[in-house]
Amino acid sequence: MPYLHIQLSGDADDDLAQRVAAHATDLTARLLGKDPALTAVVIDFVPARRWFIAKQALSVSGARSYHWLVTITDETNTKAEKAAYLAAVHETMGGLLGGVADHSYVQVSDVRAAAYGYGGVTQERRYQRPG
């Protein structure tokens, strides 16, 4: 039941947001083994004039960037799976954004099962009492 919050530099673009959300859901299912039916994705756009790398606005450099945060239950993925996910996300975002700055970030946030859940129920409780 991952939650993804993805920030993209640039003007709001509903078509791009839809494509990013679809890729986010697919990558998270394929590489981290998460259920697409339980995957939530939020996309925010940040104007390039308000996104800075090395003190310079992206509007000056013309580069694109992103910050991709996925929250998952701790101990459900290996280091190798997460490393493959980070690499695949960066490659995918490069294709979707037409090239990205090296200073674009992916963060896999492993949250303890007792402190994370949905529908008012923790993941720990779901594990203890499946079904």
Report the DSSP pairing between strands 52-53 and 56-57.
antiparallel
Nearest to 59 by CA among 122, 116, 101, 105: 101
Which residue is listed with tokens 């925010």?
Answer: 44
| Cβ 42 vs Cβ 71: under 8 Å | no
Each residue's pLDDT, cut to its tens digit, for the chain (131 residues) gives: 899 999 999 999 999 999 999 999 999 999 999 999 999 999 999 999 999 999 999 999 999 999 999 999 999 999 999 999 999 999 999 999 998 999 999 999 999 999 999 899 999 998 888 77
What pTM does this model have?
0.93
| Cβ 48 vs Cβ 57: under 8 Å | yes
